[in-house]
Amino acid sequence: MSFAGVLGAQGVRLSFGAFVEPWQQAFGVGRDSISLVSAVSFIVYGVTVPIFGKLTDRFGVTRVFAFSVLFTGLCTIAVGFTSDLWELALVYGVAASIGFGGASGVVATVAVTRWFAAKRGLAYGILEAGFGAGQMIIAPASLLLIHSIGWERTSVYMGLMLIVLCPVLLAFYRSKPSEKGMLPLGGVQAEEPAPSRLEPAKKASTLHILKLRSFWLLFIPFFICGYTTTGLMDTHLIAYCRGAGYSTALTGTAVSVLAAFNIVGCLLSGKIADRWNPAMILTVLYLIRAATLPILFLTFDPVWLLVFSILFGLVDFATVAPTTLLTADLFQTNSLGLVLGLLTLGHQFGSALGAYFPGWLYTQTGNYTLPFLTAAILLVFASLLNLMFPQAVTKKSDLPC
């Protein structure tokens, strides 16, 4: 159910790129203005996720996630009736994005952590694959629907889909295995873990978390991750493809291929993270992602666009499972919702910058060369930061303070 919920809610969120050009034409504004709406959305999403993380620690996943999906569906329908940029910014950038925060991977991750004491890395990978599946199914479908029936009706249909999903989640989604009289996979440890060395038995304060060096070694690369994925790619890739002269069919295919290999990458990284050092996995993933970006501004061949989609897709959301596994090992479940919320806040601030700044650069230069080059440099820096984790860092909750 975590997979299905993330697929629906976050698939809608990751379809933003399909609406960029239609909104430009409908509201008579530049790409930087639409990018600003995306940036506002990422900031609101990021700010609300830690709040929903704390609410999840208190009230459970089911109610928080299901009602967030319902609220997001209603807001998505309302987007279809907007007639001005400020209305879009208010309805999508603020209201719907609050719903996205409650129907986020952070909230679902708390449930996954409680249900899995063993094979957590793989479980996180499967959960993250829900993002890729949503992107693979909903984003190309949105692109085709917009082309055939317009962006307004497309938005309404997407909202109705989320409203239908809400009662399904309420009926079948459970925060922890004890609610169904079951044990987590691997035993009882997932629900009542022993405190790690970084966290006392009681919940750590936000100030204490922010003083930890290991937290910032997770936070900064995840900020860059947001800049280069949901910020840059999910906001601008479709617009880039259309501007480069690629057809709607080829653009949709490229997005679908990227999302399909995104699923593969998530599953592989989750499985590998259960066996290898997650920090080293992140180092490799960020380096590969950096190496793929020059493809977009060094060649405009359709074949190379698909090559990029495959390579970038493999390392797109693949960073989340190793990052989440490190975080769960550091903080266990006592403050997991809060810590993951703080990391997601950083990711979304990065996404906001990655959505707006490339749009602004495009408005100034007329191309995406500088945005892609800047992103590649940042990714190399993120890779180097992951090398700064002590060699003692493993997936067995033995991270030094």
Report yes or no on 6 lying in a domain. yes
Which tokens hold the place of 375? 């992103």
Report yes or no on 397 lying in a domain. no
Indicate if the pLDDT at residue 159 is higher than 60. yes
In DSSP terms, 116 is beta-bridged to 185
Q: How confident is the model at residue 113, as a pLDDT?
A: 67
Q: How confident is the model at residue 32, as a pLDDT?
A: 83
Mean pLDDT of 103-132: 68
Report yes or no on 376 lying in a domain. yes
Q: How confident is the model at residue 309, as a pLDDT?
A: 92
Residue 252, domain CATH: 1.20.1250.20
Indicate if the pLDDT at residue 298 is higher than 90. no
Mean pLDDT of 387-395: 60
Report yes or no on 356 lying in a domain. yes
Indicate if the pLDDT at residue 398 is higher than 50. no
Which tokens hold the place of 223? 């900020």
Angle at 273 between CA 272 and CA 279, to 5 degrees: 125
CA max distance for the chain: 60
pLDDT tier at 388, thresholds 50, 70, 90: confident
Which tokens hold the place of 225? 């991750």
Indicate if the pLDDT at residue 327 is higher than 50. yes
Q: How confident is the model at residue 75, as a pLDDT?
A: 94
Q: How confident is the model at residue 387, as a pLDDT?
A: 87
Q: How confident is the model at residue 397, as a pLDDT?
A: 40
Cα distance between residue 202 and residue 262, in whole Å? 37
Report the domain count for the chain.
1
The single-letter DSSP state of residue 370 is: H
Report yes or no on 233 lying in a domain. yes
Mean pLDDT of 343-354: 86
Report yes or no on 184 lying in a domain. no
Q: How confident is the model at residue 292, as a pLDDT?
A: 93
Report yes or no on 189 lying in a domain. no
Report yes or no on 80 lying in a domain. yes
Q: How confident is the model at residue 171, as a pLDDT?
A: 76
The domain of 162 spans 2-175+205-386
Indicate if the pLDDT at residue 202 is higher than 60. no
Q: Count the alpha carbons within 13 Å of 52 in the hemisphere toward its beta carbon.
A: 31
Q: State the average pLDDT for the chain.
A: 80
What percentage of the chain reaches a pLDDT higher than 90? 23
Q: How confident is the model at residue 272, as a pLDDT?
A: 83
Q: How confident is the model at residue 189, as a pLDDT?
A: 47
Indicate if the pLDDT at residue 379 is higher than 90. yes
Q: How confident is the model at residue 199, as a pLDDT?
A: 43
Which tokens hold the place of 127? 């959960």
